[in-house]
């Protein structure tokens, strides 16, 4: 069976990111200062981010030009291929057409460099010397480490301790790029020390690691903070994925009826889907957009749409998002990149506007889908991406049952070469499904701030 690949010529790589805010029927809720309850302004964010990124965070412009210096780095691996999954279609015996955009060809193996390179560039432009961030499974940290190396910036990464211990190879990748990696919670920050005082054996969480990184970044003018998902400007940078996919599907003479993506913080999902949703909002074709999340951390399907903190120590502004509560610590399932208590405010807003839908899957189903994908399409997906794969397979099988053909697009956001322990465990029967604890969520949600809610 032929491989069908749609490659854009390099000169058709998008020269602008797409900002969906310009096309939304209702503006997204404002971001609030936790102390005053008032909308925050650029000055409030200035200790953490360079002004160019703050402007993007609040921009109303439909398109934002990608600086030539960022495009120059993107071109190392972009435009990324769009594939028709013919062998998977055949294995499923489905009348559906399945396309996937593959972001695993980047040097860090995922979509994360799309924003890491942009963030490193704008920080470098404004004289920043060091970027401080957190990472869970390590995809984001390694992307920022790579981007830092490109622009000569120091990178300091607070890595969730359980991943630091269990995933030494992502750490090794960051260190190979020259970054310093610290297990979180650490003794280096007030936030970390407070957690350790209470629970010396804490294995950490993304929310804790964010607190540490934000605290350190805010201490020095030469340091800024970088976040790998959730924020508007991060989602913006990822839209290069969907902009390319639009052009590639045009080459294929096709258009998606259904778009599927996996959601942790929301950035790869948004990056692929927003340009298509925008086209629809501007009068273009309708498209069903499905966010797939893990049953163990189901912020979109089981969380509350409310104002909450992005971190555990409550150092961040308040954003309205689907949240399981900022103190909720999800169980240790293998898709570390989907283990965040909240969801991008823009993705949450779109769910509220019924422009997208959401579904949660159990861990074992996602790995079964990943193995089937590997054996048919030859690429082993990251555990996070397996959520997109299982979502796409489910839709393709529904087409088969109904005897109708639909065009399905999903974003394969990264390869699983750093996640083979999870595949080993899966094949040895050692993985199991996780139920999130409804009680824990209820407790965490009881702690939602009064401001905004």
Per-residue string for binding with its own copies, 67-86, x by CB under 8 A?
Answer: -----xxxxx------x---
- Let me know: does 33 contact 318? Beta carbons within 8 Å: yes
For residue 169, state whether it binds its own copies (rule: CB under 8 A). Answer: yes
Q: Which of 5, 199, 282, 285 contacts its own copies by CB under 8 A? A: 5
For residue 325, state whether it binds its own copies (rule: CB under 8 A). Answer: no
Task: Let me know if 189 is exposed, middle or buried by CB neighbors in 10 A (0-12, 13-18, 19+).
Answer: buried
For residue 429, state whether it binds its own copies (rule: CB under 8 A). Answer: no
Give the shortest CB-173-to-its own copies separation in angstroms: 6
Q: Which of 12, 62, 87, 129 contacts its own copies by CB under 8 A? A: 87
Give the shortest CB-77-to-its own copies separation in angstroms: 8
For residue 165, state whether it binds its own copies (rule: CB under 8 A). Answer: no
Q: Which of 16, 22, 51, 105 contacts its own copies by CB under 8 A? A: 105
Binding piece for its own copies, criterion CB under 8 A, among 26-34, 162-170, 322-330, 399-407: 162-170
What contacts 35, CB < 8 A, 6 or more positions away? Answer: none
What contacts 46, CB < 8 A, 6 or more positions away? Answer: 54
Q: Which of 362, 365, 373, 356 is nearest to 261 (CA)?
A: 356
Residue 283 CA to residue 306 CA, distance in Å, equals: 30
Tokens read off for 4: 């069908």
Applying CB under 8 A, the site for its own copies has a residue count of: 46
Would you call 1 helix, strand, or coil by DSSP?
Answer: coil
Would you call 389 helix, strand, or coil by DSSP?
Answer: helix
Smaller CB distance to its own copies: residue 1 or 404? 1
What contacts 261, CB < 8 A, 6 or more positions away? Answer: 268, 269, 270, 272, 273, 289, 290, 291, 292, 388, 391, 410, 411, 413
Q: Which of 20, 32, 137, 150 contacts its own copies by CB under 8 A? A: 150
Q: Which of 2, 201, 354, 401 contacts its own copies by CB under 8 A? A: 2
Interacting residues toward its own copies by CB under 8 A: 1-3, 5, 7, 9-10, 72-76, 83, 87, 105, 107-109, 146, 149-150, 168-173, 175-178, 371, 374-376, 378-380, 415, 417-418, 420-421, 423-424, 427
């Amino acid at each position: 069976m032929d491989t069908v690949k749609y490659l854009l010529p390099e000169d058709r790589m998008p020269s602008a990111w797409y900002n969906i805010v310009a096309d939304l029927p209702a503006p997204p809720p404002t971001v609030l200062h936790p102390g005053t309850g008032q909308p925050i302004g650029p000055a409030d964010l200035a200790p953490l981010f360079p002004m160019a990124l703050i402007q993007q965070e609040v921009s109303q412009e439909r398109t934002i030009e990608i600086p030539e210096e960022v495009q120059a780095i993107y071109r190392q691996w972009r435009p990324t291929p769009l594939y028709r999954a013919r062998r998977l279609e055949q294995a499923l015996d489905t009348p559906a057409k399945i396309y996937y955009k593959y972001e695993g060809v980047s040097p860090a193996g995922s979509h994360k460099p799309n924003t890491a390179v942009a963030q490193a560039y704008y920080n470098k432009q404004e004289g920043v010397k060091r970027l401080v961030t957190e990472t869970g499974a390590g995809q984001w940290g390694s992307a920022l480490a790579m981007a830092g190396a490109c622009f000569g910036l120091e990178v300091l990464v607070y890595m969730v301790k359980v991943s630091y211990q269990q995933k030494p190879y992502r750490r090794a990748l960051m260190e190979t790029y020259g970054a310093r990696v610290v297990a979180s919670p650490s003794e280096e920050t007030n936030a970390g020390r407070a957690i350790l005082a209470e629970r010396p054996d804490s294995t950490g969480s993304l929310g804790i690691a964010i607190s540490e990184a934000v605290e350190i970044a805010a201490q020095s003018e030469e340091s800024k903070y970088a976040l790998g998902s959730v924020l508007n400007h991060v989602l913006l940078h990822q839209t290069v994925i969907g902009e390319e996919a639009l052009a590639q599907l045009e080459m294929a003479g096709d258009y998606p009826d259904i778009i599927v993506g996996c959601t942790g913080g929301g950035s790869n999902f948004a990056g692929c889907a927003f340009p298509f949703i925008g086209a629809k909002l501007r009068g273009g074709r309708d498209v069903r957009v499905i966010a797939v999340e893990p049953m163990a951390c189901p912020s979109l399907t089981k969380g509350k749409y409310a104002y909450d903190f992005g971190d555990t120590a409550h150092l961040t502004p308040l954003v309205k998002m689907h949240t399981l509560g900022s103190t909720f610590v999800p169980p240790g399932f293998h898709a570390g990149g989907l283990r965040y208590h909240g969801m991008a405010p823009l993705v949450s807003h779109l769910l509220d506007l019924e422009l997208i839908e959401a579904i949660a899957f159990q861990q074992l189903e996602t790995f079964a889908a990943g193995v089937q994908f590997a054996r048919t399409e030859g690429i082993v997906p990251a555990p996070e991406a397996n959520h997109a794969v299982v979502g796409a397979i489910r839709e393709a099988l529904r087409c088969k049952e109904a005897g109708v053909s639909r065009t399905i697009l999903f974003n394969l956001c990264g390869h699983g070469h750093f996640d083979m322990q999870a595949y080993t465990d899966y094949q040895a029967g050692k993985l199991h499904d996780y139920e999130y604890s409804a009680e824990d969520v209820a407790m965490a949600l009881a702690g939602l701030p009064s401001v905004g809610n």
